Structure 1
Amino acid sequence: MKRFPDASSYWMQTVEMPAFRSLAAPTQADVIVIGAGIAGLSTAWELSRAGCHVIVLEAGRIAAGVTGHTTGKVTALHTSIYSRLRSQHGEEAAGLYATSQSAALHHLLEVAAELDVDCELERRPAFTYCEDPEGVQALRTEAQAARQAGLSADFVTATGLPYPVAGAVRVDGQAQFHPLKYLRALADDLTARGGQIYEGTRVTELDEGEPCRLTTESGETVTARHVVVATHHPVFDHALLSTRLTQHRDLVIAGPIPAGLDPAGMYITSEDGKRSVRTAPGPDGERLLIVTGEAFTPGAGEDTEARYARLQSWAEQRFPSFKATHRWAAQDNSATDTIPLIGPMRPGNQNVYTATGFAGWGMTGGVLAGRLLASLITAAPRPAWAEFYDPRRLGSAARTAPAFLKAQWDTGKHFVKGRLDSLGDGTNGPCAALRPGEGTVVRAHGRPCAVHRDEQGELHAVSAVCTHLGCIVAFNNAERTWECPCHGSRFALDGEVLQGPALHPLEQQDTDGL
């Protein structure tokens, strides 16, 4: 397969985001937002518009994490969620989900119009489909559940796809957009209102006192009445939310197709390890086809390059004129009870909030989180679904217990397996067998080491023990990263943190004797 640029989504290549300096002195604000993806920036913008002094602290660049690698769909149709919600939590829960997600979609449209931003916003129908006739009844059930929840959903057998489907759920009036162009406008308006954004500022400590006190990696302190942890997976997890979250990573490829072959919609199926299809405006009157799929657990040690090859083969078979010109990957987490976690992080504390567990639908969820958290922090009228998303909920614990227990079993299994594998010569083979560009985990100097051979043939080593909770990382051969299978932390080859919840880099190790 063609070697693509590393970690460069189409969105990040086609917009220049504003740059902000790092925090270099102690400061204070009404609200500190940790994380500058769509959830963090939406929350900060809503709070600033309500008159709060807001500071956003981002460890890297704004919108360059999960948000910068999304597919940019804004819809209330989330695969087959309504039949699942109805089964696990009842019809009222499904209705609250549909109402809140639809409200988020319409709010994004209103904000884009208010800021007069050209973010390639297009209204499109959304489809959940299947090619296998055995999946038809489940989709009929989903269409009915979505209608009862309040969506204008229909079961159909005809779509705009260039290949036949056995059936699909269709909801009209949904949207797709360029997420970074939208967030650039949000960031510009936020700073114009007096909000402050600091990049390259990783928060390493959080004291939930009165006021809250945060400490950055460089030792600076920030105080605020309220703190919002909007870091995808909560980097501060005093409520053990990680036990209620599962991680998955999806691969994305994109390339131009003639405008006449545009399927004119947003499509997703759970078949073949998930496949998602949409288009975006491309150069010279063409459309950019964006295909997502091959969901996997980060750090599971699977052959990611082979997954890319399967995804590209699938796309070329169904869209014969398609040739991928871009590729990237997106990481998401899901709540074990299906419902995102948005609100106060834990019982007994009304000053620290979080937004997580969007299950791959973070564009809608991030906008929803911004409005909801702003209403909670400013004591504005709360939407009817505030309690529905509250992380402190207990709800249908018995009915969702199997998913919760499976998540704990999987985490424990990864922890034990990683420790056992690292006792041998290596999880992927001994160091001597490594070719340029490859990596493995071996037992060296009495501890697990993550070893990589660079393109010049030189070995480099870091600790293979994730600095979050001590699981053993594995090598991603497509993205050339170290990934933790327990909670999804990702590290660069030199050990630097790429994605939390880990806050600290992997320790450097000596390569002598490897």
Structure 2
Amino acid sequence: MVVIGAGIAGLTAAYGLAKAGKSVVVVEAAEVASGVSGNTTAKLSAQHALKYATLTSRKGAEGATRYGRTQLDAVEWVAATAAELGIECGLARRDSFVYSTDTSQLSKLQEEADAAASAGLPADFVEQVDLPVTTVGAVRFVDQAQFHPRKWLLGLAEHIERLGGRIVERARAHTLDERPSPIVHTERGQIRARDVVVATHYPIFDRGLYFARLDITRDLVVAGEGDAPTGMYLDAVTHRSLRGHTEGDRRYLLVGGDHYRTGEPVDVEARYRKLAEAATTFGLTKATHRWSAHDMSTLDGVPYVGRYHPATHHVWVATGFGQWGMSGGTSAGLLLTDLITGDGHPAAGLYDPNRFDLHSSVTLAEDGVKVGKQYVTGYTRALTATPDDLAPGAAQVARRGKDVVASYRGEDGKLRQVSARCTHLGCVVAFNNAEKTWDCACHGSRFGTDGSVIQGPATRPLPPV
């Protein structure tokens, strides 16, 4: 078995498969838990915003119940496995809340509470929450959890190796041959396997049309010392998330939100400042830490977990957790374990990556228009200019004849120039001024200022100019 990606979905699947007696190799482009799974607010909850009323409408009561059951099972599996294996990951039980200060949201909150309770979840509606703002009410899920995802995943990786599995870091996979038997080609060699799990967050390898079926956003998080609430909270309108974290004798407040489409030419630094300012309302005294990560949403709001495409029986995928990767990635790993070992799973049809419906077809068309617009406007925005006057830390995308060049001048004064055409499908990248990266708005690929791949679906670097 080869598992590509050492995040929460990949390592959960790898642990389950190794425990079932399978020979497992995990290949990771960077390091264990260094990607999206290590850069979250780390809420481990079956409460996924106002999810269950919509699910009941789209998938029926049975679909909502199965989704809720898999997410709740994921929470309990992490808690039980952490205790069983002795992994100290700061796991603490907390109630989870989705609240609003907007009176127009009251009926939606009540409808969500009813739908979640009907789906068998520990949900109810409450009028007041422990926050320094006036709310109209909230949906509460009792006894959920929060934890330290890196400590959890590093502990899980250690136990995978104890079971005989192998984890290979800094081995980016770039191609896959499926026939006659799967072969994964990496920067450090090739691996032949019976089954391959692609758990790279955004599925690499252009098959299955995932680049057309996922919406990519980037979420920001700021943290610092301050008074923090006892529960985990999410604003139903602004989608700002907050929770507390204790490190020694210090208590931190984590506030996430202000997301934007990856690769859009926005002032990311300004968004961080805006988020930090909003966090002061909830007790943040000073933002001392910040980070961001990708989020992938599917056409119908349910992750894609199962066979990579209809014609394969030995290549598997897990993606599209839509801001809820801690429970979503865990449930995906558990589901893939059951499917690969032949045990089957009652929710397999719900998560089937090859499902499609009328609502999805409309959403797909809308997303196609967005991507087409990004493709055109990327070239339109490119300046006809020279980078000679770029200040240290500044960047620009400019036309040079038929080429489009991405230029960045480092703090050391050195000018770095690479092609601005994303190596996935040719869209023009934009500069992320907070993380100093070149990001593609079409399908979310991200590159370093030297052109190196940071996140897919691209697998090849931007060539130097």
Relative to the length of structure 2, the TM-score reads 0.97
Q: Secondary structure at 1:271's aligned position in 2?
A: coil
Q: Are the structure 2 counterparts of residues 402 and 270 from structure 1 closer, same or farther at C-alpha, using a change threshold of 3 Å?
A: farther
User: Contact 1:76 / 1:174 at 8 angstroms: preserved in 2?
Assistant: yes
Q: Indicate whether 1:425 and 2:387 are aligned.
A: no
- 1:32 correspondence with 2:27: no
Query: 3-state SS of the aligned residue for 1:316?
Result: helix
Deviations 1:270-299 (A, max 9, x none): 433x20001111232x31110001010111
Partner of 2:464 in structure 1? 508
The number of aligned residues is 465
Residue correspondence of structure 1 range 16-415 to structure 2 within 5 A: 31-218=1-188, 220-257=189-226, 261-272=227-238, 274-284=239-249, 286-319=250-283, 322-380=285-343, 382-394=344-356, 397-415=357-375
| Higher deviation after alignment, 472-481 or 86-95 | 86-95
Check conservation: 1:210, 1:225, Cα contact below 8 A.
no
TM-aligned CA deviation for residue 434 of structure 1: 3.1
For 1:82 and 1:404, the matched residues in 2 are separated by 22
Secondary structure of the corresponding residue to residue 90 of structure 1: helix
CA distance in 2, matches of 1:333, 1:215: 25
Letter paired with 1:358: F
* Partner Cα distance (2:441, 2:428) in 1: 8
Contact 1:347/1:392, CA 8 A, preserved across alignment: yes
Could you tell me whether the CA contact under 8 Å between 1:61 and 1:200 is conserved in 2? yes
Structure 1 contact 228–352 (Cα < 8 Å) conserved: yes
Residue 217 of structure 1 and its aligned partner are, at CA, apart by 2.3
CA RMSD of aligned residues (A): 1.4
Are positions 1:477 and 2:437 aligned together?
Answer: no
d(CA) in 1 for partners of 2:281, 2:146? 25
CA distance in 1, matches of 2:259, 2:139: 22
User: Normalising by structure 1, what TM-score?
Assistant: 0.88
| 3-state secondary structure, aligned to 2:195 | strand
Q: Distance in 1 between matches of 2:352 and 2:237?
A: 31
Distance in 2, Cα, partners of 1:400 & 1:379: 29
Native 8 Å contact 1:162 1:263 kept in 2:
no
Query: Match for 1:385: what amino acid?
Result: A
Asked if the contact 1:202–1:216 (Cα under 8 Å) also holds between the matched residues in 2, the reply is yes
Aligned residue for 1:100, secondary structure, equals helix
Q: What is the distance in 2 between the residues matched to 1:436 and 1:262? A: 38
Q: Which AA in structure 2 matches 1:312?
A: A
Runs of 5+ consecutive residues of structure 2 not aligned to the other structure: none
Distance 2:295 2:449 in 1: 22
Distance 2:419 2:303 in 1: 33
Amino acid at match of 1:463: S
Shift of the alpha carbon at 1:344?
0.5
Deviation at 1:433, TM superposition (A): 5.3
The answer to whether the Cα contact below 8 Å between 1:88 and 1:400 also exists between their aligned partners in 2 is no
Contact 1:492 1:498 in 2 (8 A): yes
